[in-house]
């Protein structure tokens, strides 16, 4: 691996600024790494190598621009996020040939900041899954062990960062889809507060749950990415008109955890954790204490209802959002349809995969007359109780801490035939989406038995991403570094 690829995003920025590394060098190194590793990992659906090199050469000719915080940095974008002139398929046959004519706001802001797009990352179809095995095109593998999954649905984004193919990637998080891949792949990923980043140009799965966020090697890297993408967008009615703090400064300047109260919810530290996950997370909590943090017990009593609540809400919203993919306006249209009913049935049954169809059917059911009150309305009421649990817990602490997942990355195909077991992979992540609060996953070690990364999750108060980024940055410095996979 070249010296360039061993750099963090922050380290690359410094080298680009002093011209000891050129944008062309950075892009070329990433493309070489993609060529070496991609046949085994299959993290990317599209590679825009020629366009990236052309852009890098033009930038080098003009020279570094200090006003652009991502000048010359190669990044990858999840394939659920629209990119002008580059296919955006959501890893689905129904959008296989869809090429947007515009950029999502988050992508446009990355480009304005000088980032260079390397390609689009594989994912679970329409972001529905926890392993990236539901893609219609390929199954992404975990760079730490090619027989394991990278997590999902942003598994391609997690794997491409972990493998050193790029310096950061965008994911979307509806129920843990940034944090679970970050945990399984040994990188850092953050889901910001709902409304912090515009969803304009992001293909919707669950509109009240989805948020875009970055995956990168360090909290400091994520802070730079988050800083660039955040802010109000008039094109998105759910985008909050709030001032964006200096996340990068908040993160880089925090060196200890003195005065920080860490809440440990008993629901996240009880039965179900594997021994190796508990050991790594306990070590991280001990390190936090050593940095001056005060640990306090907290309770999130409605956590046991989170899975049922989440899947009712998410599937209902998916049923509504995916109704637009009907073979009429864009996407796959079945050539043998004889009338409108045929067009709908044949286009959707062949265009959508099994998991997407399952969620559409269940979502339609819970929204149907006679069942709306029993299911969707009840789920909405429990959702409010789950959010209130967090608000109550934050009366006693500043950050809530727990494992990202009860286990390390599982084997390819291990849970594919049992949807309920697959859904349980999100047990520790989904409550945050139901609450709209920010959360981060950071690597805290390798499991003693599996040798695979273990992630620790930090939940923050609304609009307080800076605190969890700073805490993760300080804690990372007190823990052994896991390095990069030797693929």
CA distances from 390 to 44, 259, 298, 400 (A): 36, 20, 9, 9
The pLDDT of residue 81: 98
pLDDT of 424 reads 84
Q: Where are the beta strands (DSSP E) in 256-385?
A: 261-265, 294-298
Quick one: DSSP state of residue 4? Answer: G
Q: Within a domain: residue 321?
A: no
Q: How many residues does the chain have?
A: 487
**pLDDT at site 330:** 82
Q: Which residues, in sequence order, are CB contacts of 438 under 8 Å at separation 6+?
A: 190, 191, 192, 193, 196, 432, 459, 460, 461, 462, 463, 464, 465, 468
d(CA 378, CA 389) in angstroms, rounded, equals 17
pLDDT in tens, 6-36: 999 999 999 999 999 999 999 999 999 999 9
pLDDT value of residue 141? 98
Residue 315 domain flag: no
Concerning whether 349 is annotated as a catalytic residue, the answer is no
Sheet holding 294-298, edge to edge: 44-47, 116-121, 74-78, 168-173, 211-216, 188-191, 439-446, 453-459, 399-403, 261-265, 294-298
* Residue 280: pLDDT over 60: yes
The reported pLDDT for the residue numbered 254 is: 92
- 411 sits in the region (left: phi over 0; alpha: psi -120 to 50; else beta) called beta
DSSP string, 152-209: SSSHHHHHHHHTTS-SEEEEEESSSTTHHHHHHHT-EEEEPPTTSB--TTBPPSSTTT
> Residue 45 falls within a domain, yes or no?
yes
Residues 103-117 have pLDDT tens digits of: 999 999 999 999 999
Average pLDDT over residues 86-97: 97
Mean pLDDT, residues 263-274 taken together: 94
Q: Dihedral, CA atoms, 444, 450, 452, 454, nearest 10 degrees?
A: -30
Residue 380: the pLDDT is: 96
Angle at CA 75, nearest 5°, toward 70 and 78? Answer: 130
Q: Which residues contact 362 (CB under 8 A, 6 or more apart)?
A: 311, 315, 319
Active-site residue, from 153, 405, 435, 476: 153
Supply 172's token pair.
């979307």
Q: With respect to residue 50, please indicate whether it lies within any of the assigned structural domains.
A: yes
Q: Which helix (H) or strand (E) is 120 found in, with range? A: strand 116-121
Q: Which CATH number belongs to the domain containing residue 222 in this structure?
A: 3.90.1300.10
Task: Encode burial over 268-294: b for 16+ CB neighbours within 10 A, e otherwise.
Answer: bbeeebbebbebbbebbbebbeebebe
Active site residue 368: no
Paired tokens of 275? 């021994």
C-beta of residue 130 within 8 angstroms of C-beta of residue 152: yes
- The torsion angles phi and psi of 402, rounded to 5 degrees, stand at -170, 170
Domain assignment present for residue 365? The answer is no
Q: Are 93 and 118 in contact (CB under 8 A)?
A: no
Structure confidence at residue 94 (pLDDT): 96
Position 188 in a domain: yes
Instruction: Tell me whether residue 338 is in a domain.
Output: no
Give the pLDDT confidence score for residue 418 in this predicted structure: 85
Q: Which of 201, 189, 35 has its CA nearest to residue 111?
A: 201
- Number of structural domains (the chain) is 1
Residue 370: the pLDDT is 87
CA separation for the pair 352, 271 (Å, rounded): 37
Nearest to 321 by CA among 431, 190, 172: 172
Structure tokens at 312: 């009712």
Across 162-167, average pLDDT: 98
Q: Structural domain of residue 158, as residue ranges?
A: 4-300+389-477
DSSP per position, 249-275: HHHHT----TTPEEEEEGGGSSTT--H
Region 412-441: mean pLDDT is 92
Q: Which of 157, 177, 319, 441 is catalytic?
A: 177
Whether 144 is in a domain gets the answer yes
Active-site choice (22, 78, 431, 435):
78
pTM for this predicted structure: 0.96
Name the band, by pLDDT with cuts 50, 70 and 90, for residue 420: confident
Report the pLDDT averaged over residues 459-469: 98
Over range 201-212, report the average pLDDT. Answer: 97
pLDDT-derived band at 433 (thresholds 50, 70, 90) equals very high
> Any catalytic annotation for residue 450?
no
Residue 337 in this model has a pLDDT that exceeds 70? yes
> What pLDDT shows up at residue 112?
98
Q: Return the pLDDT at 222.
A: 98
Residue 456, classed as helix, strand or coil, is: strand
The yes-or-no verdict on residue 299 having pLDDT over 80 is yes
């Amino acid at each position: 691996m070249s010296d360039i690829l061993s750099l963090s995003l922050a380290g690359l920025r410094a080298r680009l600024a002093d011209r000891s590394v050129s944008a062309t060098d950075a892009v070329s190194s990433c493309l070489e790494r993609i060529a070496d590793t991609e046949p085994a990992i299959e993290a990317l659906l599209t590679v825009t190598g020629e366009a990236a090199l052309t852009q890098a050469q033009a930038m080098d000719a003009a020279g570094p621009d200090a006003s652009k915080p991502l000048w010359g940095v190669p990044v990858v974008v999840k394939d659920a996020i629209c990119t002008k002139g580059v296919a955006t398929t959501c890893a689905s046959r129904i959008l296989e040939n869809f090429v947007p004519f515009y950029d999502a706001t988050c992508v446009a802001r990355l480009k304005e900041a000088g980032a260079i797009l390397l390609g689009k990352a594989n994912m679970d179809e329409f972001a529905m899954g926890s392993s990236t095995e539901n893609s219609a095109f390929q199954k992404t593998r975990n760079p730490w062990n090619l027989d394991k999954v990278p997590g999902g649905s942003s598994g391609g984004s997690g794997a491409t960062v972990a493998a050193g193919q790029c310096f950061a990637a965008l994911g979307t998080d509806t129920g843990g889809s940034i944090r679970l891949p970050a945990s399984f792949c040994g990188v850092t990923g953050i889901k910001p507060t709902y409304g912090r980043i515009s969803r304009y140009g992001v293909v919707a799965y669950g509109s009240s749950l989805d948020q875009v966020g970055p995956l990168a090697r360090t909290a400091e890297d994520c802070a730079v990415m988050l800083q660039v993408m955040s802010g109000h967008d008039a094109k998105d009615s759910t985008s909050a008109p709030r001032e964006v703090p200096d996340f990068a400064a908040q993160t880089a300047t925090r060196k200890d955890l003195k005065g920080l109260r860490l809440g440990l919810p008993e629901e996240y530290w009880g039965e179900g954790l594997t021994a190796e996950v508990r050991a790594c997370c306990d070590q991280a909590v001990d390190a936090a204490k050593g940095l001056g943090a005060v640990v306090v017990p907290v309770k999130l009593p409605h956590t046991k209802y989170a899975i049922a609540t989440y899947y009712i809400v998410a599937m209902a919203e998916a049923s509504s959002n995916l109704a637009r993919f009907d073979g009429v306006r864009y996407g796959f249209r079945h050539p043998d349809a004889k009338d409108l009913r045929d067009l709908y049935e044949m286009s959707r049954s062949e265009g959508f995969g099994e998991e997407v169809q399952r969620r559409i059917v269940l979502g339609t059911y819970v929204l149907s007359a006679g069942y709306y009150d029993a299911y969707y309305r009840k789920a909405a009421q429990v959702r409010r109780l789950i959010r209130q649990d967090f608000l109550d817990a934050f009366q006693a602490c500043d950050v809530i801490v727990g494992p990202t997942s009860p286990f390390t990355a599982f084997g390819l195909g291990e849970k594919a035939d049992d949807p309920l077991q697959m859904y349980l992979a999100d047990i520790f992540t989904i409550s945050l989406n139901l609450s709209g609060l920010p959360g981060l996953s950071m690597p805290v070690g390798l499991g003693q038995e599996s040798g695979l990364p273990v992630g620790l999750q930090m939940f923050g108060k609304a609009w307080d991403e800076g605190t969890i980024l700073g805490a993760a940055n300080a804690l990372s410095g007190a823990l052994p570094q896991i390095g990069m996979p030797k693929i």
